Each structure stands twice: as structure tokens, then as C-alpha cells.
Structure 1
């Protein structure tokens, strides 16, 4: 062996030994897979948490986000997208991951408030001045009214809109499942299209100028105001709507594989901190903290609501009855 080659190989061995002896200082990372309209909330929340984590542990953390329609997101996680945590807008999506063995069955007991750190409700966003005088659910089924909403089979926003209308009809005098299905059928016939997600529905209504009314989360209405200005639309609170909850969970197999359980737990726990709850209120989500809800009472008008548990017996019953293949949505849509 020539001296040149021998010296080169020796250099590689020494370099490898030095590299092996140097501790790694790469920052930890976490992927939060979330629903479509949560972008702004986590855009504000993540820097707050990074500051909190740095102060507590001395460690920097890289936080990554993924946003799309809720059902699309959980399918991606089930198919291998390595989310450390999921922050969704309804329990049925997290339940899907429970069925796949990725989230523990009693995830809702691992955090306060059924693992939902804040709430919202479904409201009507109408053109400025409300030219079609849309005040309550019956106005949305009138001939000539175009209703914009995301797809009820693939988005949490769409499912909540569908169930809100169904629950309203069910609670009217003489209301039953037959009258509710007829009412929702009329509503869906007034939808010229189904958007791919909550933010897509907003774009369709606000930028493409399609539709007379957008059904969406109360929080989305205020985010629209930030982007387009309050003078571009009005918000109408119906006489009755649905309480929307936003469950969070740790993806067990991923955190065990990546060694991020402690980080994931802290990331979700911090949603209930004073700072996390204040951030919810500032993003127009109703905080669970009673003091903060009182502080921000002016931006959260009183509205009568019902829950999925109260009217539909919970998501384990509501989802298969209405949104699985052959359920009432398919029955309505096929006859649309």
C-alpha cells in the first residue's frame, strides 16, 4: 500500500472517531397533523410553545404542521404520515386512528374537557347587508338560495354543518328523523358544490363570489374579517346550532418510535395553559378557561347549542349512521 493511500485511510479513521465523539445538538422536532382551518391558531401557538419549551428544558424544538380536510388528514396518518400528535375538529376522526391502533382508546380521558381545549359553533356568513335576509336554518332551504359548505363525508366542518341542520330540524315541533332528513335534503340541494375543506369553502365564497351563505365555524368568520375586512360580509347566529369540539391526541406508535412522548404530551398540555387559552380566544375559539371566556364575552355572543352526544348519541353512532357508505348522506345525495 502506498504511503499516500495509507495516510488517507488513517485520516478517515481519525475523522470518524472524532465525529463519533462529538455530541449531537440537532433540535427535537414534532409534527402536528391538524384540520384545514386551524392554520392560524397553530401559527400563533407554535412560537409560544417553542418559547415555553426552551425556558423549561433549554432545548430548541422544530414544530411542523400539516393541514387539510380532517378525514383526509387522519387517513394520511393511518397510511404512514408520522404525526406525533393530531389536533382535529371532531372525535370521529380521532376514533378512526383508535381503530387503526395508532391512538389509545381512552385518549379523551388523558386531557381535560374530553381532550377538547376549546369549542366553537356553526354560524352563517352572508353577503354584506344580508341581501337575502337569511336569519335562520329555514331560510337556507328556500328556493334560489345558494349554500356553500365543505363536503360532509370528508371534512369535519361539513359534517358539523350537516348535523347542525339535522339537529335543528329534529328539535322543531313534530320533528323526527324523517322530517330532519327531508330538511337536510333541501339544504344540500341548495349547495352548488361541496368544497374540499373549510378554507376552500371560504375561498369559494369570499374570493370566487359563489353562494349567498357560507356555513362555517364561528372562529372562521373572524379570521375572514382579518383577511378580507369586516365590511365584506355579515355574521348571522341562527336560533340553534351545534357545539363543536376539537379533540387532541398523541399518536402512540410514532412518539414511541421517535422518542418524542414527553414533547408531545407537553405540546398538548400547554393548550390548557393560560397562554394557550388566551391564544384560543384571540383566534376566536371559545376557551375552556371560565375567566378568559368572561374576559372575551363581547366577541362570543350567547347562542343556544346542542351537542353530538345529546342529539345523536355520540360520534360512534352519528358517524356510521350519517356518513359511512350507505348512510343518510349517501341516501340524500343520490336522490339530490
Structure 2
């Protein structure tokens, strides 16, 4: 009996050793570092057996890294097409991935905003002010960054309202691009250029990022400008079936993303200046987010596929405008 009891006690004490903890790799966009440090800590309070590793870069660079072998379990990107390429080219998840989670697999969203020097010395209030004489813009490169693509398309959305002809709209875009002092590969690089290297008069980036900069570097140094018309920037998420099935992490990866829709996570997102889907949380934080007209990618360009082909592919409009 004593031997049986000792054996049972040994078996019970040994269980944690054999029950391997789950480990997830989250490949995310460039400026989401601080957000996911906080989110992972929140998630791990309820799931202490899950270890989460982060990887951050421009959204398109991350997609390319995954296609080249980065074994991410989940992606939390800022553009649909960067996940589509993982489905279509990499065959890492089904092409209907947007239907697997609520709100087209976008648990939160944002828009494009401007960060200017304190006092707004160049009087930048809207997209049209970006082309004033002497204004220098800092922007993530639309070729490598979803952040940069949203900025480009936000400017196009404004131009479509302001100018009747396509030629005038393209001239405005060309003028905006001509005022860009620095094209960084990602949103965080653009922030570094504007804040630490003191380049430019205005940084065009996500609304969440401009508020984060003011919190970190001092509200007395910068002003936030929210254009009256801007673009809806959705933040799609997905688990990569091929990778999670190979690693045995599918259920954990799915749960990790589903938790983004929970009230505690939605509150955390709103505290980080992201606009959220939960109506109760959104109402509690409504004073933080000014009302504006948000144009969708469908409004501006028909679809992301069309936008990528017509504006961002090699030799497309972006390249043409920069060569003129």
C-alpha cells in the first residue's frame, strides 16, 4: 500500500513536467510592440501556461518573412492583403479566413492622423494643407508598410472629394509625395525619424500611434490633428492553420485571438487609442475619439486587390507618380 501511495504521489508531482506548456509566435505590425506587451500580460493572467513570443516589422515585411519560413502561429496585421497572400500564395490558411472571427476578423480599428510640432506652426489641419510650401512630411513607405498604404489612400480619399477629375486627384497625390522628406520601411521607423531625428513638420501615421507618441515623448511637444475625412484602417487577425496544426497549437492560437474581442481586451485596446467593436466599451471611451467621416477601401478604390494592383504593384500609380 505504501509503495502504491508513493507511486501515485510521484506520478502526480511529475504531471507538470510532461504537460508541455503551449508557446505561440505572434507576428505583428511595426508599431504594435507596446500594445501586445500589455495584451499578452492580460491574456496570460487567465492563461498562465501559454508563452507568447512577439515579432514586429512592417506588415508586408512580416508576410514575406512568413512565406520564407517564419513559423508564426498567429498574425495580427494592419492590412487584409498581407494575410490574403499567406492564404493564396503560402497556403497557410483558408482563403475565407475573414469569416472565422467577428467583424471580418478585425477586433479593432483605427484611422490615419497627423502628428505636428507643438503649436502646429505650419497650420496643418487637413489633407490639403500637406502640400503647402515648406511643409515636410514623414511617412512609412507604402511599398513595405500597411501604415504607409493607409496614408496614401487616405490622401486619395480626400482628393476624390476635393477634385472632380482623376488627373487632378493624381496631381494632388504627386504633390503630397513630393513633400515627403523621409520614406521609412515601417511605422516605427517613421516615428523615430520624426521624434528622435527631428525630421519633418508632420508625421502621418495611425491615430493610436500619434497619441502613444505624445504619452511617451511629452504632450507639451506635439499636437494631434485628426482630419475631418480619413480612411477606415482595420486590423485583421488570423491563426495560420498549417503552422498551428504542425505544432499542435491551433486551439490555443484561436483562443488567443478570440480573447481580443473580450471586454477586458477591448478596454485595453481603447486605452491604447484604438477604436473598438464592443459597444459598451466604445461608449465609455467616446470622448477620446473625435467623430469623423471614415471612408472604406471599397469607397476609395473598390477593393484591396484593386488598390494593390492599381497603386502599389511594381510600375503602378505610386511608382509613376514618384517618377514624374
Distance of 1:277 and 1:76 partners within structure 2: 29
Question: TM-score, structure 2 length as denominator?
Answer: 0.93
Contact 1:120 1:217 in 2 (8 A): yes
SS in 2 for 1:256: helix
Distance of 1:130 and 1:113 partners within structure 2: 36
Equivalent of residue 299 in structure 2, options 310, 321, 333 = 310
Matched with 2:3 is none
* Structure 1 residues 135 and 194: CA distance shift in structure 2, 3 A: same
Q: CA RMSD in A?
A: 1.4
Matched with 1:203 is 192
Equivalent of residue 310 in structure 2, options 321, 326, 329 = 321
Matched with 2:66 is 77
Contact 2:269 2:275 in 1 (8 A): yes
Distance of 1:119 and 1:265 partners within structure 2: 20
Matched with 2:278 is 289
Task: Report deviation, 1:173.
Answer: 4.7
Task: Report deviation, 1:49.
Answer: 1.0
Question: TM-score, structure 1 length as denominator?
Answer: 0.90
Aligned: 1:108 with 2:98: yes
Equivalent of residue 266 in structure 2, options 250, 262, 277 = 277
How many residues were matched structurally? 310
Contact 2:212 2:272 in 1 (8 A): yes
Distance of 1:234 and 1:248 partners within structure 2: 31
Distance of 2:226 and 2:179 partners within structure 1: 20
Contact 2:156 2:300 in 1 (8 A): no
Matched with 1:42 is 36
User: Residues 72-116 of structure 1, C-alpha deviation per residue, up to 9 Å, x if partnerless?
Assistant: 000000111000010100111111111121121011100001110
Equivalent of residue 331 in structure 1, options 302, 313, 320 = 320
- Which has the higher Rg, Structure 1 or Structure 2? 1
Contact 1:167 1:180 in 2 (8 A): no
SS in 2 for 1:230: coil
Structure 2 gap ranges (5+): 1-13
Contact 1:242 1:308 in 2 (8 A): yes
